[in-house]
A and B are shown apart, each in its own frame.
Chain A
Amino acid sequence: MIRLAVISGKGGTGKTMITAALAQLLPGSLVLADCDVDAANLELLLSPKLIRTEPFMGMKTAVIDPALCTQCGECMEHCRFGAIERDGDAYRVSLLRCEGCAVCTHVCPAAAVTMQPRQTGEIKYSDTERGHLVHARLVPGAGNSGLLVHAVKKTAIEQDRNSDLFLIDGPPGTGCPLISTISGVDMALIVTEPSVSGLHDLKRVVAVCRQFRPRILVAINRFDLEQSLTETIQIWCKEEKIPMIGKIPFDPVVIESVRKGVPVTRAGASPAAQAIQILAANLENELMHYGNRRG
């Protein structure tokens, strides 16, 4: 199984749209995962049929038993996350802020604080035309998105270990969820756009990727909106020896296909669909070489 993550650094560059089209175009057996667990959108393009749902338990969080609490305030004083709130005489844990460190349970002289398991999301295992999809939903405002990403990947690998390709739709950013997504992947396809923000964010996400050593590939979406920046990005990639394997033009058909809930490559012939076919062919080549090298 080759593990390929589609990521971007900057949000909204077209990761999900490209992942859905690649799922349709790449050959062999697939398992898919949506690791943008904060705001999972891949399901909106793949019409998944839900097979089962499992609760996701995040970190345990602290609970104060008001019957035992002596209102000494030790927990509040020692909590470094500002998660203990005082309401009149009572102390309460803010579930939005609690990071589950358990320091409050240690410092409480009355043993009034315990750590309790809490469901912070769910993991969904579904069927699509192109293989199984593991997707998730994080309770809005909950923490532990990195942990949930890890659980999503683990489910996909365990359930579908014989698939040729594990295709991951990644999160934006460079923090916890992104790091959890790219750890252990063989290849990262970075989707960028020709803007000063796109280039800046590309450089940062490449720096993070290099700490995990996947093969890095780049594609530029909406490349024709600012040709001079597209050239700057291409020059930078060349200097950094990062293969640029696709350039997708701005095309209103992309938005139409998202509104129809299908990959753009299923919405009839269009300039964007054609460009993604070239991207998929280049990627297929990369995957073949990678597979051969690995043996």
Chain B
Amino acid sequence: MRLAVASGKGGTGKSMVAANLAFTLSQAEQVTLIDCDVEEPDLHLFFPAPSTTTEVTVPVPVVDETACQHCGLCEEFCQYGAMTVLSSRVLFFPELCHSCGGCTLVCPNGAIHEDPKRIGTTTISTPLPNLKLISGMLDTGNPLAVPIIRTAKKLAASDPLVICDTAPGTSCPVVETLDGCDACILVTESTPFGMHDLQLAVDVAARLGVPAGIVINRSDGKDQATLEFCTDHDIEMMMTIPFDREIAAIQSRGDLLCRARPEWQKAFAALFVKCSTLAGMDR
């Protein structure tokens, strides 16, 4: 089973839910936790362990200036404006390139080949006997998160139980993470910001055909609007985590709620049962 933890709004507690769920489940079975928030991956901070890091590369064009006739077809074809052909040389802007390979296909002189370019890394560790952690990390200054997410997910392609922590927002990185998941936990907070962004996240999950359930985090008891939203949209409210300065402090210092307060494991185990039902994979 593949689960994603997403939110729309940032800072609602996605990583906290993903980390505690994985920690709890790993007491009984093999779990793979993937940090797909590759722009700001933080899960490794909660699971320090020796790790192996591999570079993620994408193919980018290299122009052989001796073969190039400076005809300009590559510039004309490139939809991203990554090539500018001058009279005697070609300028390439790697930060604009999407690695589609189009320029190599249109070049009539075979003057363009592709070389790998590093854009980030994936790191694998085994912080607990039954827990595998895969973290994608985009190199700072690099704009393209999607190829890192794709690589990180591929590393867990044959793992039986996978939990993906998602980036905030509703665009490409979120789509790439949710794609192929069996169910999705949407973590929200009971404020107009949380509600506004929750609606967007519900929309994305629906467009991808991924069933979603909701977790309210840092609840101060004023959850009426969120509960009504769930009823109106027929979405299950799966768990409520109260606002509590001690829970906040546990999280802030890089510890896990379920490790510091083991009584919470029961609640996360129950959350997983609900996710399984949501995914149509009753356990």
Contacts and interface: CB of A to CB of B under 8 A. Distances in A.
- B interface residue count range (under 10 / 10 to 19 / 20 to 34 / 35 or more): 35 or more
A39 B197 CA distance: 6
Contacts of B99: 80
Contact of A44 (B144, B196, B249): B196
Interface residues of A, number: 66
A231 interface: no
A237 interface: no
Interface centre among B100, B169, B248, B251 (most CB of A within 10 A): B169
B143 A176 contact: yes
Contacts of A228: 253
Interface string B179-212: 1000000000001110011001101100110000
Interface in A157-201: 171-179, 193-198, 200-201
Contact of B170 (A38, A99, A176, A258): A38
Given A141-B175, A208-B141, A226-B249, A173 B45 contact: no
A41 B245 contact: no
B77 A106 contact: yes
A59 to B, nearest CB: 6
A78 B193 contact: no
B152 interface: no
Contacts of B253: 195-196, 226, 228-229
A141 B9 contact: no
Contacts of B173: 175
Given A171-B169, A208-B141, A226-B253, A103 B105 contact: yes
A174 B249 contact: no
A8 B37 CA distance: 15
Given A41-B197, A229-B252, A102 B79 contact: yes
A57 B101 CA distance: 24
B171 A141 contact: yes
A18 B272 CA distance: 36
Nearest to A197: B42
Contact of B200 (A39, A106, A172): A39
Interface string A113-129: 00100000000000000
Given A176-B144, A196-B45, A138 B40 contact: no
A39 B191 contact: no
Interface string B139-157: 0111111000000000000
B98 A101 contact: yes
Nearest to B199: A140
5 contacts: A96-B179, A140-B203, A175-B144, A176-B143, A229-B253
Closest 3 CB pairs of A and B: A11-B10, A12-B11, A101-B100
Given A140-B207, A145-B171, A196-B45, 8 more contacts: A9-B40, A10-B40, A11-B10, A11-B12, A16-B193, A115-B79, A208-B140, A211-B141
Interface of B: 8-12, 15, 37-40, 42, 45, 77, 79-80, 98-102, 105-106, 138, 140-145, 167-175, 179, 191-193, 196-197, 200-201, 203-204, 207-208, 220, 222, 245, 248-249, 251-254
Interface of A: 8-13, 16, 36, 38-39, 41, 44, 59-60, 78, 80-81, 96-97, 99-103, 106-107, 115, 138, 140-146, 171-179, 193-198, 200-201, 204-205, 207-208, 211, 225-226, 228-229, 252, 255, 258-259, 261
